[in-house]
């Protein structure tokens, strides 16, 4: 296992500025699946962060209860609704997304678990799984073999513990993750202070971010950012590295105005522009 630093030098080697002749079709179409009654905000945050990270089109697939919320909160995003009023019960879509994120705010109703299983059986698009998507995997480990190569998982500590079990040391934690990452060809974004990205071979330690990010929706926003880069054609590892770095950078930029306490997840999207511009300096 190699220990690497995720710093500006690494990011500048990954970052591909937009072409003059680009258009929204070539900037990629991301599909964000999740939300449930009372947690539609997670999909608003993920979808907004996704668009503000440069992808051309975003479609959100949410339960019916979220339709007016999403179309009002984020008119730039297109919306598909599940027939169920309160939770995801059936994952079907006609569109051809370049990348998919699933799990934020999704809940773990049996209906949703069944729909998630059905979706994994047929999906072959680049995939990011977060939050309740990870929690469902943790309860149904047989689903892991259905995941496409280089699926990105973005657990926080508790979600990770549900998936791999408890650990007595950092070393044991990385061993458990490494086994899973190699067996199922996964990329882990191990969210924390700081965040690490681990594919079973290389362990990258992020150098941006601060405690302002300890606020509801900051992980949902990260999922949107990484999925945006997936939809723009970045390889899963590069999308994860670039997304984690930029996500943390927005908080480093924002705190001079918000302080640590008044930073909220919406500030992530609000500061993505400044974060991108700081790369070009």
Ligand X SMILES: NC(=O)C1=CN([C@@H]2O[C@H](COP(=O)(O)OP(=O)(O)OC[C@H]3O[C@@H](n4cnc5c(N)ncnc54)[C@H](OP(=O)(O)O)[C@@H]3O)[C@@H](O)[C@H]2O)[C@@H](O)CC1
Ligand Y SMILES: Nc1ncnc2c1ncn2[C@@H]1O[C@H](COP(=O)(O)OP(=O)(O)O)[C@@H](O)[C@H]1O
Q: What span, in angstroms and rounded, lies between the C-alpha atoms of 181 and 199?
A: 6
Q: Report, in Å, the least distance between residue 137 CB and ligand Y.
A: 15
Indicate the annotated binding residues: 105, 156, 191-195, 219-220
Indicate the annotated binding residues for AMP: 191-195, 219
- Residue closest to 36 by CA, chosen among 101, 130, 107, 120: 107
Site string for ligand Y, 187-226 (x = CB under 6 A): ----xxx-x-------------xxx-xx-xxxxx-x----
3-state DSSP call for residue 84?
coil
- From candidates 82, 199, 220, 238, binder to ligand X by CB under 6 A: 220
- From candidates 216, 259, 262, 273, binder to ligand X by CB under 6 A: 216
- Residue closest to 236 by CA, chosen among 82, 101, 54, 45: 101
Q: Which helix (DSSP H) or strand (DSSP E) does residue 2 occupy? A: strand 2-6
Q: Which helix (DSSP H) or strand (DSSP E) does residue 40 occupy? A: none
209 binds, among Mg ion, ligand Y, ligand X, none (CB under 5 to 8 A by kind): ligand Y
- From candidates 24, 158, 182, 183, binder to ligand X by CB under 6 A: 158
If one asks whether residue 34 binds Mg ion (CB under 5 A), the answer comes out as no
User: Do residues 211 and 194 lie in contact, with contact meaning Cβ atoms separated by under 8 Å?
Assistant: no
If one asks whether residue 232 binds ligand Y (CB under 6 A), the answer comes out as no
Closest to ligand Y by CB, 29 or 46: 46
DSSP secondary structure code for residue 244 in this structure: H
Q: Report, in Å, the least distance between residue 218 CB and ligand X.
A: 8
Q: What span, in angstroms and rounded, lies between the C-alpha atoms of 24 and 10?
A: 27
Sign of the Cα pseudo-torsion (252, 277, 129, 115, in order): positive
Site size toward ligand X (CB under 6 A) is 16
* Binding-site ranges for ligand X (CB under 6 A): 39, 41-42, 104-106, 131-132, 156-159, 216-217, 219-220
């Amino acid at each position: 296992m190699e220990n690497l630093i995720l710093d500006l030098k690494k990011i500048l080697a990954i970052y591909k500025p937009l072409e003059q002749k680009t258009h929204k079709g070539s900037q990629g179409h991301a599909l964000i699946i999740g939300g449930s009654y009372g947690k539609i905000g997670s999909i608003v945050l993920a979808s907004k962060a996704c668009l503000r990270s440069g992808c051309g089109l975003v479609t959100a697939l949410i339960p019916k209860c979220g339709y007016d919320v999403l179309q009002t909160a984020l008119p730039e995003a297109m919306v598909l609704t599940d027939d169920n009023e309160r939770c995801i019960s059936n994952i079907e879509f006609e569109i051809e997304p370049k990348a998919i994120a699933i799990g934020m705010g999704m809940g773990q109703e049996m209906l949703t678990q069944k729909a998630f299983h059905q979706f994994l059986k047929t999906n072959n698009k680049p995939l990011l799984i977060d939050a309740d998507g990870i929690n469902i995997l943790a309860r149904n480990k047989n689903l892991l073999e259905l995941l496409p190569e280089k699926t990105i998982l973005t657990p926080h500590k508790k979600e990770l513990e549900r998936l791999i079990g408890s650990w007595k040391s950092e070393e044991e934690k990385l061993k458990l993750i490494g086994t899973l990452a190699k067996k199922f060809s996964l990329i882990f974004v191990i969210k924390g202070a700081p965040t690490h990205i681990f594919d079973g071979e290389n362990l990258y330690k992020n150098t941006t971010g601060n405690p302002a990010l300890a606020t509801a929706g900051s992980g949902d926003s990260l999922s949107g950012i990484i999925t945006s880069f997936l939809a723009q054609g970045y390889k899963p590892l590069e999308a994860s590295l670039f997304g984690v770095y930029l996500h943390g950078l927005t908080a480093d930029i924002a705190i001079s105005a918000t302080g640590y306490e008044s930073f909220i997840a919406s500030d992530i999207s609000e500061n993505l522009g400044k974060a991108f511009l700081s790369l070009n300096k």
